[in-house]
Amino acid sequence: MGWAAKIGERRAFLASVDSALEFAVRDRGISSWALASELARTARRNPLYATNPADVRAADAVRYLERTRDAEIPEPVAGQLRVLVGFHDARYALVPVEVRFEPGRSAGTGHAILRVAVLDVRGSKLVFIGDIVGNDEPDYAASIGADLARRFTDLVVPR
């Protein structure tokens, strides 16, 4: 398929997926969630205390928790997340773990899959993990992130 080579710089692509998630969530009227841009703003305002969310290795922690289900969120991620959610008086963190590309069901197509997790930061536990599967497409398109975000919000808030 070669889609991974078409995304450009990985960190910029993941930031675009975060932005698409933020737009989709706000578009559905969910205003109580602290999203990536707000967490980044919080970290910039408190540089000695909070870690930039883009630098928190939360996805690695989730992968660890998948393998050892009864384990707690490992340090330093647990502490970094506690600080970020504490600023927003939250308990849970939604973690986009990865976006991967797989062949589609029909020949010559593929689809993107967004793996998301919910962490109970105060309880230091993995609460949920699941995959959001995009449409089969003949080729990579920049709109894939927005499609995955829309599909995620469809699960959270009905249209």
Of 94, 68, 63, the closest CA to residue 81 belongs to 94
Report helix, strand or coil for 62: helix
82 contact partners, CB below 8 Å, separation of at least 6 = 121, 122
Side chain identity at residue 44, one-letter code: R
Position 64: which residue type?
Y
State the pLDDT at residue 158: 77
Please report the pLDDT score of residue 11 as a whole number.
86
pLDDT at 1 > cutoff 90: no
pLDDT at residue number 63:
95
Contact 81, 60 (CB under 8 A): no
The Cβ of residue 2 has, within 10 Å, a number of other Cβ atoms equal to 9
Average pLDDT, the chain: 92
Q: pTM for the whole thing? A: 0.89
Check the CA dihedral 19-82-54-112 and report its sign.
Answer: negative
Q: What pLDDT sits at residue 95?
A: 92
Using the predicted structure, report yes or no on whether residue 32 has a pLDDT greater than 90: no
* Contact assessment for residue 52 and residue 46, using Cβ atoms and an 8 Å cutoff: no
Q: What is the pLDDT of residues 138-152, one digit of tens each?
A: 999 889 999 999 999
